[in-house]
């Protein structure tokens, strides 16, 4: 499984997506200036890196992985930071999402 710059960009974009999605909770509706600025910066960085990755990677694969990383990360951090549900069925489906991300990478 070869890791190239487009994949590194895509992974970085996904990690920044987690940051801005979690950041939304801390902005309190964009009423808190510092979390709001950090959230917008993370969003812009995530979009930029996603755009760079899609110059090389198929759009369906890149977008699917970007959204999947964000979803998996936000759901996992939601469990730890915001006391969201960690029900076994939820964990099972997050595991399926992770398997799907690996599958998309392997078939790209």
Q: Interior CA angle at 97 toward 92 and 82, to 5°?
A: 70
Q: Is 57 left (phi over 0), alpha (psi -120 to 50) or beta?
A: beta
pTM for the predicted model, two decimal places:
0.90
pLDDT of residue 41: 98
| Reported confidence tier of residue 105, pLDDT bands at 50, 70, 90 | confident
Q: Interior CA angle at 60 toward 12 and 48, to 5°?
A: 35
pLDDT of residue 1: 55
For 11-58, write each residue's pLDDT tens digit.
999 999 999 999 999 999 999 999 999 999 999 999 999 999 999 999
Taken as a whole, the chain contains a residue count of 108
Q: How far apart are CA 5 and CA 19, in angstroms?
A: 21
| High-pLDDT (> 70) share of the chain, % | 98
């Amino acid at each position: 499984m070869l890791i190239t710059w487009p994949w590194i960009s895509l992974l970085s974009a996904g990690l920044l997506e987690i940051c801005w999605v979690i950041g939304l909770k801390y902005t309190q509706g964009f009423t808190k200036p510092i979390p709001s600025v950090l959230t917008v910066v993370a969003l812009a960085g995530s979009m930029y890196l996603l755009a760079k990755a899609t110059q090389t990677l198929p759009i369906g694969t890149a977008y699917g992985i970007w959204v999947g990383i964000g979803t998996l990360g936000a759901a996992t951090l939601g469990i730890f930071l915001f006391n969201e549900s960690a029900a076994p069925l939820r964990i099972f489906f997050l595991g399926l999402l992770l398997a799907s991300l690996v599958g998309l990478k392997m078939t790209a």
